[in-house]
Chain A
Amino acid sequence: DIQMTQSPSSLSASVGDRVTITCRASQSISSYLNWYQQKPGKAPNLLIYDASRLQSGVPSRFSGSGSGTDFTLTINSLQPEDFATYYCQQSYSTTWTFGQGTKVEIK
């Protein structure tokens, strides 16, 4: 299986901060990379697909970049509703895998 490693596992940030989360694949996955946001007790919500494309309805402060093995999710000007856990996910291989998650907490 392709392993997906996110860093950091958690971070504390303030409203208005710029936050960057990284995701590394154990082998090249081209742009077969998606990002999701999950709030407690809720299903995940798609933010970014194809590594850098913004899902319809998602605020433009979210952006994604990268290809191959290294990817980044950036949140510009963090808002109160952005405090959540974020997951990357690869669909390059037949069996899919997720990163372990990054919890964004209020400083």
Chain B
Amino acid sequence: QVQLVQSGAEVKKPGASVKVPCKASGYTFGSYYIHWLRQAPGQGLEWMGIVNPGDGTTIYAQDFNNRLTITRDRSTSTVYMELSSLRSEDTAVYFCAREASTTVARPLDYWGQGTLVTVSS
């Protein structure tokens, strides 16, 4: 069965970086794009970016101003989301999700369980 498994909660200081893994299993890793999204406490969903695991190409939301890097490791079927220069407003649950490629609107059909990143001094 398809699974996306993320790491546990992280606590970081302002100015630091965080790198969150998302390990995929149950399907052909290189055949489905992976997205990253986040949700601040009590807020809605914010789309962050996407990676093509096949060739590593990425697209990022402009709001992250070069602080965001999404990479993948094909040998371990893992996608990584790294966010740098952390500030308190980056405190959120971070989700990875798989894009279904066979429909027009390419919805997110499988999600990781989420990783809480807390930024606090």
Contact = CB atoms under 8 A, between A and B. Distances in A.
A90 B95 CA distance: 18
Per DSSP, chain B at the interface is loop
Interface residues of B, number: 22
Contacts of A94: 59
Q: How large is the interface on A (under 10, 10 to 19, 20 to 34, 35 or more residues)?
A: 20 to 34
Contacts of B112: 43
B46 interface: yes
B109 A55 contact: yes
The 3 closest A-B pairs by CB, nearest first: A43-B111, A49-B107, A34-B107
A36 B105 CA distance: 13
A95 B114 CA distance: 21
A100 B59 CA distance: 22
Given A43-B113, A43-B114, 20 more contacts: A1-B62, A31-B104, A31-B105, A32-B104, A33-B105, A34-B107, A38-B45, A43-B95, A43-B97, A44-B95, A49-B105, A50-B104, A50-B105, A51-B105, A89-B108, A94-B59, A95-B47, A95-B61, A97-B47, A98-B46
